[in-house]
């Protein structure tokens, strides 16, 4: 991060003392650190502390213009390579989510084009408040990255989630973000499938599975952030389309197959993250099946194997699959990799806490034909997606 300009926004919470350590560590790694403090933050630690640690003036008041040749908040916004908000209070999260600019920090955030990293810190009940969680979700959709708070003893006396991440962890994420070229997949087309499919039995009922689509949506978002033309072929899902992603909605496995085959013509990468139904009812009734006997027999037939079909047609395209298993994960995943002519497969044990359907985290291992490529601990699905997309970029670079 030598020479990178990192703006650290410090809002008013007891975790401000951790921000001092963060600024010091960033400075020691060669970054040009500029600090913006809210008025509340100065009640905990003085601006002089951050001025000493950053070796740069600290901005607090929007109207305190020391250099007449520039407008300070615009200058800071324009020249930032990365914006870090630590600690981020519920108040600054609300301002960011709703576009408010009533102080130096919030005004500069409105003007910046730089990536933003946020480290929340607050009381556990404040953090879990639905309004705060909704603001966080909105910011995530807008591309803001979060370092999740830890759990433990809070300054207010409560025990729970809300402690600001340790400075070392934030520095680690900063290094990752600065190392991720935004144009890693520039000029490439990435097609991602996500969510479940629904196979109708009658106008009311259908067969499906528990997939939420969160992993696939996160992959499409990460691909777009890396500069790709990202196309998301999505089964039924209430998730919002990520910024910069073109979404194609489908319902059944057959519809998903046709959409993928159409989109893959110009694709460089196909990522099969959808949980496609393996079987569908052989006959779809035209009217609702009425309840009668104690038992109902339904004949099922196989749905199209999308991954296998893509594997047969992929040519030089990179094909990445997923294997959601409950036992013998590596064995089944590597077998699927070979049978379906995939280049890589992402395997997870969905029976393991933190790695199953519908959750916000995942635990994965990636294999190629030579064996294990990458093993990730429990991380947010958005973080897993970033690392997988980075791996995809590396594989494309190796091919070229």
Neighbours of 157 (CB within 10 A): 7
Q: Which residues are CB-contacts of 220 (< 8 A; sequence separation ≥ 6)?
A: 190, 192, 194, 230, 231, 232, 242, 245
Backbone angles phi, psi at 262, to 5 degrees: -70, -45
Q: Are 147 and 119 in contact (CB under 8 A)?
A: yes
Q: Which residue in 2, 29, 51 sits closest to 167, CA to CA? A: 29
Both tokens assigned to 249: 């909605």
Neighbours of 180 (CB within 10 A): 17
Q: Which residue in 280, 289, 278 sits closest to 204, CA to CA? A: 289
The residue annotated as part of the active site, out of 74, 156, 284, 298, is: 156
DSSP per position, 123-184: -HHHHH-HHHHHHHHHHHHTT-EE-PPEEEE-TTS-EEEEEPPPHHHHHHHHHHHHHS-TTT
Binding-site annotation, residues for CTP? 278, 288, 322, 336, 340
Hey, CA dihedral for 113, 117, 121, 127, is it positive or negative? positive
DSSP per position, 232-278: EEE-S--PPPPTTEEEEE--SHHHHHHHHHHHGGG-SEEEE--B--S
Q: Catalytic: 156?
A: yes
Q: Catalytic amino acids? A: 156
């Amino acid at each position: 991060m030598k020479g990178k300009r990192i703006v650290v926004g410090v809002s008013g919470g007891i975790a401000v003392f951790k921000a001092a350590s963060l600024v010091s560590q960033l400075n020691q790694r060669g970054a040009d650190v500029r600090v913006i403090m809210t008025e509340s933050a100065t009640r905990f630690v003085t601006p002089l502390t951050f001025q000493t640690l950053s070796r740069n003036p600290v901005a607090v008041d929007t109207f305190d213009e020391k250099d007449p040749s520039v407008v300070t908040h615009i200058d800071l916004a324009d020249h930032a390579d990365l914006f870090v908000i630590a600690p981020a209070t519920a108040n600054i999260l609300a301002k960011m989510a709703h576009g408010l600019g009533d102080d130096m920090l919030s005004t500069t955030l409105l003007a910046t084009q730089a990536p933003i990293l946020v480290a929340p810190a607050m009381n556990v009940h404040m953090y879990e408040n639905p309004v705060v969680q909704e603001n966080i979700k909105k910011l995530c959709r807008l591309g803001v990255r979060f370092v999740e708070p830890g759990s433990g003893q809070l300054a207010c006396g409560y025990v729970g989630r809300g402690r600001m991440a340790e400075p070392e962890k934030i520095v680690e994420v900063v290094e990752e973000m600065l190392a991720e070229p935004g144009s890693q997949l520039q000029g490439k087309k990435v097609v991602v499938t996500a969510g479940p499919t629904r196979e109708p039995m009658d106008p009311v009922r259908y067969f499906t599975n528990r997939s939420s689509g969160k992993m696939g949506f996160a992959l499409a978002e990460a691909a777009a952030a890396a500069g790709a033309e990202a196309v998301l072929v999505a089964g039924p899902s209430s998730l919002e389309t990520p910024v910069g992603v073109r979404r194609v909605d489908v319902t059944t496995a057959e519809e998903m197959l046709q959409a993928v085959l159409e989109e893959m013509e110009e694709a460089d990468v196909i990522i099969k993250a959808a949980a496609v139904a393996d079987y569908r009812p052989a006959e779809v009734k035209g009217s609702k099946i009425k309840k009668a006997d104690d038992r109902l027999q339904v004949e099922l037939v196989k749905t199209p194997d999308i991954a296998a079909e893509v594997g047969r047609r992929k040519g030089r395209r990179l094909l990445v699959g997923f294997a959601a298993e409950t036992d013998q994960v590596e064995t089944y995943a590597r077998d699927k990799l070979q049978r379906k002519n995939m280049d890589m497969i992402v395997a997870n044990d969905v029976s393991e806490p933190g790695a199953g359907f519908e959750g916000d985290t995942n635990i994965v291992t990636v294999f190629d034909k030579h064996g294990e490529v990458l093993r990730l601990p429990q991380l947010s699905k958005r973080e897993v997606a970033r690392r997988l997309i980075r791996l995809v970029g590396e594989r494309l670079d190796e091919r070229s």
